[in-house]
Amino acid sequence: MPALAVESAGKVRQKTRASTHNPCVFYALKAFFLHLAANKGNPDLQIVSFSGTDLESACGKTVLVGEACTLYVAWGKKTNTATDAYLFIMDDTVDDTGVATDTRATLPFPIAGNASVGATTPANNAGESILIFPDGIPMATGVTVASYTTGVGSTQSTAGDAPNGFLIVGT
């Protein structure tokens, strides 16, 4: 189980730039890091990457952090447009069996015209999604992520349908 290995927020910010070149995501992250510097004492953070292959090889879920931490950012990019994907971020260090009770955040990657998300979803949505929690979400035991094809977490995504991305966590 991976332990937390924090470094300066500035180094984490530099690493996020290598992952995305989307201006909306860039400026959202810039605002987040400015907020941390101005209002939160610029805490040390860790960027934790994941891939669709990681999620599939771990039977749909993978433990990213094996100890208590605070979740600040979840970002992902979906490369396949054929199937909805929902990244579930759970306060758990074992598995995703408690998806109904352990989920703290869900990052959606819907396909075009999905009625459960809204008909205004852009066509061929293989794009990026980001969640930012300026004050963080406490994760008491650690972080496990899983990708599902439904918003209720019933069918696991394949590697090709799951997003690739990162979480930003701190102590």
9-170 is classed in which CATH architecture? Sandwich (2.60)
User: How far is 151 from 135, CA to CA, in rounded Å?
Assistant: 25
pLDDT, residue 124, reads: 47
Instruction: Report the mean per-residue pLDDT for the chain.
Output: 83
User: How far is 6 from 162, CA to CA, in rounded Å?
Assistant: 26
pLDDT, residue 151, reads: 82
Would you list the domain boundaries of the chain? 9-170
Q: Note the pLDDT tens digit of each residue in 51-83.
A: 888 877 555 467 788 899 999 999 999 877 678
**The pLDDT of residue 120 is above 90:** no
